[in-house]
Structure 1
Amino acid sequence: MLWWHYLPLLLQETSSAQYILQQYIAASGGLKLQNSINNAYAMGKVRMIASEFETAKKVTRSRNSSKAAESGGFVLWQMNPDMWYVELALGGSKVHAGCNGKLVWRHTPWLGAHAAKGPVRPLRRALQGLDPRTTASMFINARCIGEKKINEEDCFILKLCADPSTLKARSEGPAEIIRHVLFGYFSQKTGLLVHLEDSHLTRIQNNGGDAVYWETTINSFLDDYRPVEGIMIAHSGRSVVTLFRFGETAMSHTKTKMEEAWTIEEVAFNVPGLSIDCFIPPSELRFASVSEASELPQGQRMKSKTAAAAAAAYHAKVAQFQKSHESDTNNINWTVDV
């Protein structure tokens, strides 16, 4: 009967998480206002401010000054239910990605067009203070695991783990996703999301060889919340993405770290004229078997003049930076969302 002693704790973790999410929804503008939004648009700027590459023998660091930092921009469109499209560009590279509510896809200069395996999932950048309703729904089954200070601000921590069936659905071939955890840090003072930590671990089993592990961690810090048509939107922030490879031998690990800072220039809701045609996947994915496609998004389309500022993907820089330091990456198709 000892489980009775732990039941109150489990119930407390769940009920506390629900209370935190209720406060977050209220602080973000309220459920009624959020449910009145059918579509949304956001445009922002991004700067790559630091990079680091580490091996067992040396560490190479680069920190750009405000003038030397590579700059770009991005434009994001969303529409109910579960449709989104984003264009990002930085340092001469451009990434398009989208979801038509059924299929997540992506186009990158180094991989071309690819469709994601597994269930439809939201765009990470939208969770970085741009879409409180989707953020709240993401954490609906989370647990409150404690408190922590983030930038001198007391926060509640919500933890969400992907279930085994989702991990299996997103795995492909020799690449097995064995863990995906999301942590949300919500301010006790304002109720808003101020920090997001997204981590997943992938195991690559080579033919007859040792397994190689890739751990991807993205830490995002959200700032400058201001109301837009009554909805609280984070107008600036920064993200640190870390790619850690290990497994073969004790001295063969590599770690790549990139840091970006972004600002939001423009946000609008219920944009007239936006239709489902704007979220149609590329033809090569529409008419191909999804099961034959590789992992993650591509994009095309969106010819609105407002989208002319297209752009910014630190993932493009991560891939290029990693490639310049390491010739053998086991041909992994990275599944880091834009």
Structure 2
Amino acid sequence: MLALTVRPGQQGSSSLRQMAEPHPDEGSLLVQSLVVGLCGTDSEIINGEYGETPTGEDFLVLGHENLGRVLEAPSGSGMSVGDLVVGIVRRPDPEPCTACAAGEWDMCRNGRYTEHGIRGLHGLARERWRAEPDAVVRLSPSVGRLGVLLEPTTIVAKAWEQVERIGKRAFWQPGVVAVTGAGPVGLLAALLGVQRGLSVHVFDRVTAGLKPDLVRSLGATYHSDSLPDSGLRADVLMECTGVPEVVVDAMSNGAPAAIVCLTGVSGPGRRLPLDVGDLNRQAVLGNEVIFGSVNANRRHCEQSTCALAAADPNWMSRLITRTVPLHRYPEAFARQPDDVKVVIDIEAAGQ
């Protein structure tokens, strides 16, 4: 079968290759890949910045944002042939830490977790793959190919869950949300904020085109100025860019008792002038919380299935701006001005 692969650490090593069919030892479910979504993580792996092969292999199959259809399912598995499923990206340690053993592998304590298409496990940008039933999440047939958006939705579902848990430390009645970045994660964070009945404001640099329209179509407010220049003081701030200057803006411009969630991953080596004393004073005197959030566990996957089912499918479909056949995968990584979410069609590879 055909797979999209890379040699981690080697820039420009991506290629299509034939590989063996998945072995039954890998899981009792056999799944046909339909589409995989791309994000910055995939680009960084292709650029040789990181990535880790499975033990005994010299290549890594890409693809962590995924959607597939069950081809084989054992009786009693809770799955049926034809079900739409998404493989859970992160898997717990071989000898689980306390968090992994409790099913919260997104909060792994010893760093020995694995991740499909990223770290130690082949990804799902291949025609077929296997998994055990507890390693996938089933979607409603009505979601269709929009199910490829489940994995990025899990990131913000976890972020929102953590925000709400922190908020319950004391009296909390949030009204205003600021989301920095109108990429897929930022737009999905905004969606979940709107679904909670909050006043959502999204900040991005572009002044026209699809992103502002997507935000306004949600019933949210779009800003092309900076968070400080806007004068907005939000109760919840979701930072979804990883841009150091924007991270500092989010940390410095919340309302009293604000909760700031950092979901964007910044590259190291960037130095900024920062008044740490003022930032500390503001956080302490304002009872503010700043925390980071990454990845998700099964609970967040299930929350995300509900969020997708409740979303306007027409709005969701506009997030997917390009679908590229597997054999033309380099086109998917060549960024276009109006790109939001680009996906690679795997199903067509075998036709």
For Structure 1 versus Structure 2, the TM-score category normalised by the shorter chain is under 0.3
Larger relative contact order (CA 8 Å, sep ≥ 6): 1
Structure with the bigger percentage of strand: 1
Structure with the bigger percentage of helix: 2
After TM superposition, the score normalised by the length of structure 2 is 0.24
